Amino acid sequence: MRKGAAPQTATRWGLRVLVVGYLFLLVIWPVLLVARATFAHGLAPVINALRQPEVIFAFQLTLSAAFWAVVINTIFGVGISLLLVRYTFPGRRALNALVDLPLAVSPIVVGLSLVLVYSGRTGWLGGSLEQAGLQVIYAPPGIILATAFVSLPLVIREVIPVLQEIGTEQEQAARSLGASALQTFARITLPAIRWGLLYGVVLSLARSLGEFGAVKIVSGGVAMRTQTATLLVEERYQQFGIENSIIAYAAAFILALIAVIALVIVTAFRPDKGTPR
Amino acid sequence: MSIKIAGVGKKFGDFTALEGIDLDIATGELTALLGPSGGGKSTLLRIIAGLEVADVGSVEIEGVDATSLPARKRNVGFVFQHYAAFRHLNVAGNVGFGLKIRKRPRREVKARVAELLELVHLSQFADRLPAQLSGGQRQRMALARALAIEPTVLLLDEPFGALDANVRKELRAWLRRLHDEVHVTTVFVTHDQEEALEVADRIVVINQGRIEQIGPPHELYDHPSSEFVMSFLGPVTTLDGHLVRPHDLEIETHPFGDAYPGRIERFNRVGFEVRLDVRLIEDEAAPPVLVTLTRADATAKGLETGMPVWLTPVAGASQVRITAPATTAAESLDLPQELPPGSPTQSVPQPTFT
């Protein structure tokens, strides 16, 4: 029995070391270095940096853009998931593949394509919108659009497997007990997918906070007007002077911290090993 | 009449699930839809419930034309094979669901739920989640949930199909007692002939999308109208071009009356029963005739392998003349290849065939 167990244990330890080492070199160490660089000169300069109006504005813009992007993705994400799982229609597989496009395409390309459609100078849609008084490109709506585009698949890919797993019988039972479509969704479907949905929302939020490439193209990155936190980090990082680097590192640290906290909360609340109940 | 089905037909693509179904179900009756998997019985039940829409024909429930009524307006209680428990609600929440949807006052819901949990013996489990219940308990919960809305008709789709044999038998007897207490018009789908024979007031045998025969259990068993019904309701064997039940054969070790001579080819004891394969002298090419009798009988007659015997159906035995080519349940079980979505897929318990 011991003979049989020994190589298994060796394999297990080997795998553990490999995985932890990989994660350490790729994720943990670099993030720790950001934290170290942030606090290299103590706490006071960091707090001072975070009090700068540009920094406060950038975070407010980032948070509100991320919030609206997540709201949009949650509503459309659940809708698209229901469509893909519960209905068969021509082009369903194509739609299914299309949903993953934002993950595959570079955010820069996303940004450029949004400019082509919504810019007042290049796109007829953008032109008409601007005439109606809604500027999209180089304004918050463009930032929200770009962020929503990039994080679209995250909710859908979390919700679809749960919908497939729960099947349709619970919904049918609710219908036969007198529930309308809306009641069935609110009382049966939504509670059944809530953990998958929450996880998708958090991933989407984390991704939205950190979006850079697409936002850079569509926003223009003007401080105090369209500069999000990630754009601020990039701008300050490239400027000279220790104050600028501290602002860059502090903002980067806060971005990482928010994402980590969100994931920790969800992981803690999520029932065992992600089996949705 | 509680349920009136007229001319109902349903196709899934090229596959005809139901064709020309006419069926009346009386108020308060407990009816079984019996037949092999893929025969259309579940589809018929789902059409009654409004979970499936018939291509042609009409469904009337308590005098109301329900053909185009959505499921939620039919006031039908439906019990699924796999319970369809609302996993995020506890037992009380599940049972009270239909009442809450109907916006009944909280106190009334609570009282009714308590009453139903009493009825299905789940009172002490009211606060548990479905995941913490056994299969049998979950199905009783589903039944209470369906009964809570005081349905006009109660429909059960293979309600015990996912349970193990002992629980099945227990729940079967319990359903019968429950029906005698509650008296709601009930239709249940099963592929288990024993279940149908034991529980139902009336059996509707459905095969390949058509109704084969309708009648009380004993009538179907004693006077089957077709080879299919005869062979689906119990074991059969072939003697002189007729289907006959193996326990309806008289066997002696000496010639008598018009009895057919033969020889015991195999002697197989299963519990209290003895099963014999008898090779007829006159028709050696035919498959052996199956005879079953009690062990006491076999011992009294001194039956053994290789012994010459004489056979004849007992007086009043149910027999069906075989029309060539024979379509017995055995053959139709292989058909159809394509099952409609949502139909039960597990295999049918095989009656014994010769």
Q: With CB atoms and an 8 Å threshold, state whether B78 touches A173.
A: yes
Q: With CB atoms and an 8 Å threshold, state whether B102 touches A178.
A: yes
Q: With CB atoms and an 8 Å threshold, state whether A176 touches B49.
A: yes
Quick one: pLDDT band at residue B342, thresholds 50, 70, 90? very low
More confident residue, A131 or B148: B148
Please tell me the predicted confidence (pLDDT) of residue B318. 86
Residue B87 CB contacts under 8 Å (≥ 6 apart), including other chains: A166, A170, A192, A277, B129, B130, B131
A-B CB pairs within 8 A amount to 68
Please say if the pLDDT value at position A100 is more than 60. yes
Which tens digits make up the pLDDT trace of B151-187?
999 999 999 888 888 888 888 998 999 899 888 999 9
More confident residue, A216 or A1: A216
Rounded mean pLDDT of B103-117? 95
Please tell me the predicted confidence (pLDDT) of residue B55. 95
Residue holding tokens 């919030």?
A67
Please tell me the predicted confidence (pLDDT) of residue A6. 60
- Does ipTM surpass 0.90 in this model? no
Written out in words, the top-level CATH class of the domain with range A53-269 is mainly alpha
Which residues of A are less than 8 Å from B150 in CB distance?
A: none
- Cα distance between residue A246 and residue A244, in whole Å: 5
Rounded mean pLDDT of A102-125? 89
Which residues of A are less than 8 Å from B87 in CB distance?
A: 166, 170, 192, 277
B53 near A CB under 8 A:
no
Token readout for A140 is 């918050």
For testing contact with chain B, the best of A87, A176, A187 (most B CBs within 10 A): A176
Please say if the pLDDT value at position A18 is more than 80. yes
Which tens digits make up the pLDDT trace of B245-281?
999 999 999 999 889 999 999 999 998 999 999 999 8
Please tell me the predicted confidence (pLDDT) of residue B161. 86
More confident residue, A6 or B51: B51
Q: Indicate the average pLDDT of chain B.
A: 88
Nearest-neighbour CA in chain B from A197: distance (Å): 15
A192 near B CB under 8 A:
yes
Q: With CB atoms and an 8 Å threshold, state whether A177 touches B88.
A: no
Please say if the pLDDT value at position B109 is more than 80. yes
Quick one: pLDDT band at residue B341, thresholds 50, 70, 90? very low
Please tell me the predicted confidence (pLDDT) of residue B326. 46
A274 near B CB under 8 A:
no
Nearest-neighbour CA in chain B from A189: distance (Å): 10
Please name which of B19, B17, B7 lies closest in space to residue B39, comparing C-alpha atoms. Answer: B17
- A178 phi/psi in degrees, rounded to 5: 105, 5
Please say if the pLDDT value at position A259 is more than 90. no
- Cα distance between residue A179 and residue A69, in whole Å: 31
Please say if the pLDDT value at position B219 is more than 90. yes
B145 near A CB under 8 A:
yes
Residue holding tokens 């009648």?
B215
What's the maximum distance between 2 C-alpha atoms anywhere in chain B?
77
Residue holding tokens 């080997």?
A14
Is there a cis peptide before residue B340, judged by omega within 30 degrees of 0?
A: no
CB B80 within 8 A of CB B20: no
Is there a cis peptide before residue B217, judged by omega within 30 degrees of 0?
A: no
Q: With CB atoms and an 8 Å threshold, state whether B87 touches A179.
A: no
Quick one: pLDDT band at residue B324, thresholds 50, 70, 90? low
SS3 assignment, position B185: strand
Please tell me the predicted confidence (pLDDT) of residue B334. 42
Q: With CB atoms and an 8 Å threshold, state whether A177 touches B146.
A: yes
A177 near B CB under 8 A:
yes
Quick one: pLDDT band at residue A274, thresholds 50, 70, 90? very low
| Amino acid identity for residue B34 in this structure | L
Could you tell me which chain B residue has the CA closest to the CA of A193?
Answer: B88
Please tell me the predicted confidence (pLDDT) of residue A7. 65
Quick one: pLDDT band at residue B85, thresholds 50, 70, 90? very high
More confident residue, B240 or B199: B199
Rounded mean pLDDT of B111-125? 94
A179 near B CB under 8 A:
yes
Please say if the pLDDT value at position A277 is more than 50. no
Facing residue for A175 by CB, picked from B72, B77, B89: B72
Q: With CB atoms and an 8 Å threshold, state whether B145 touches A173.
A: yes
- Chain A, residues 2-41, CB within 8 A of chain B, namely none
B82 near A CB under 8 A:
yes
Is there a cis peptide before residue B70, judged by omega within 30 degrees of 0?
A: no
Residue A104: left (phi > 0), alpha (psi -120 to 50), or beta?
alpha
Which tens digits make up the pLDDT trace of A151-209?
999 999 999 999 999 999 999 999 999 999 999 999 999 999 999 999 999 999 999 99
DSSP state of B304: -
- Chain B, residues 95-114, CB within 8 A of chain A, namely 97-98, 101-102
